[in-house]
Structure 1
Amino acid sequence: MLDARIRPFIDPLLNAQGRKLARFGISANQVTLLGLTLGLTAALLIALGAPGWALLPLLLSRLADGLDGAVARASQPSDFGGLLDISCDFAVYGAVPLGFVLADPASNGVAGAFLLASFYVSGTSFLGYAILAEKRKMTTQAQGVKTLYYVGGLLEGAETIGFFVLLCLWPVAFAPLAWVFGTLCLVTAAARVWLAWRVFS
């Protein structure tokens, strides 16, 4: 919901830094893998009971996620890079809730399972829509220049990052927050399916 609104403000900054990294010979895929490593480090710290310490690598991971596209646009974007980017994003989005479950399975297990299931459904609706949009040769730059077709929704990247930050700052509230956010993920997925029905049927 917020991604398209904040893009005009953050894209110029990311693109400027992306051009600098590209000039140093750093590839977009290297930035993507750095973001994955930082995100998994954050998840590990959460699992070890240190969610506060996880905040820095988590935020740096999401910064890398924004920078990899900027580096690609400044050098040579590729279809594989787009696939690697979304795969690493989903890996981090799954690992962070898993970290909270592993930190306290008794309190967080059921809510964490529901949250991960909702991510699965939401991710499927996102990628399924992208496949159908590509089949129809549809394009959009509402979320910036992307390899995949990005359809918006109630919850997008900015909301997910904010949710993860809130969890790290308030880990004892993981279960109720996970139920609420997971429910909103399902609403997002349902909205995408409804939109697909209107557009593609």
Structure 2
Amino acid sequence: MLDGWMRRIIDAPLNTAGRRLAARGVGADAVTLAGLALGLAAAGLIAAGGPTLWALVPLLVSRLADGLDGAVARARGKTDFGGFLDITCDFLFYGAIPLAFVLRDAGNGAAGAFLLCSFYVNGASFLGYAILAEKRGLTTRARGEKSLYFTAGLLEGTETIVFFTLLCLWPYGFAPLAWGFGALCFATALGRVALAWRVFG
């Protein structure tokens, strides 16, 4: 829901940084993998049971890298593999953080399973829509220049980053936050199914 608004704020500085990195020979795939490594490091810190605030910096820097990889790709030239690698790493990151909170505290198991199920369904609706949009030749730049067709939704990347930040700030609130966010993820997926029915049905 907030990604379109956020893109208007971050695109210009990201594109500037992306051009500078590209000029120094940094590849987009390397930035993607560095972002994933930082995200998994954040998950590891959470799962280890230490202060979750320690995970906040690598978590947020990993999301900065997730924005930078696209900017570098636009400067150096986009590739289909780069888009594939980016979305695959994103999904791994999004699954690793809830898993880390479950590994940290087994009492979070039910809420974590519900949240991961909602991510799974939401991701399937997102990717399924992107495949059909590509088949129909549909394009959009509402969420920036992407390798895949990005549909708007109630919850998008910005909301998920805010949610993960809240979890790091208030780890003992994982269960209620996860139940609530998971329910909104299911609502997002349902909205995307309704959109697909209108567009493709």
Q: TM-score, normalised by structure 1?
A: 0.99
Please show how residues 11-160 of structure 1 align to structure 2 within 5 Å: 11-50=11-50, 51-105=52-106, 107-160=107-160
Cα distance in 2 for partners of 1:4, 1:132 equals 22
Deviates more, 1:92-101 or 1:44-53: 44-53
Letter aligned with residue 100 of structure 1: F
Secondary structure of 1:100's aligned partner:
helix
Cα distance in 2 for partners of 1:8, 1:167 equals 26
The structural deviation recorded for 1:168 is 0.3
Letter aligned with residue 130 of structure 2: A
Cα distance in 2 for partners of 1:166, 1:26 equals 32
Secondary structure of 2:151's aligned partner:
coil
Cα distance in 2 for partners of 1:41, 1:54 equals 8
The structural deviation recorded for 1:69 is 0.1
Deviates more, 1:47-56 or 1:190-199: 47-56
The structural deviation recorded for 1:6 is 1.4
Cα distance in 2 for partners of 1:37, 1:137 equals 34
Cα distance in 2 for partners of 1:160, 1:86 equals 15
- What are the Cα deviations for residues 68-102 of structure 1, in whole angstroms up to 9, with x where unaligned? 00000000210100000000000000000000000
Cα distance in 1 for partners of 2:8, 2:111 equals 35
Letter aligned with residue 64 of structure 2: L
CA RMSD of aligned residues (A): 0.4
Secondary structure of 2:128's aligned partner:
helix
The structural deviation recorded for 1:177 is 0.3
- What are the Cα deviations for residues 113-165 of structure 1, in whole angstroms up to 9, with x where unaligned? 00000000000000000000000000000000000000010000000000000
The structural deviation recorded for 1:22 is 0.1
Q: TM-score, normalised by structure 2?
A: 0.99
Letter aligned with residue 129 of structure 1: Y
Cα distance in 2 for partners of 1:61, 1:9 equals 18
Q: How many residue pairs get matched? A: 200
Cα distance in 1 for partners of 2:132, 2:22 equals 32
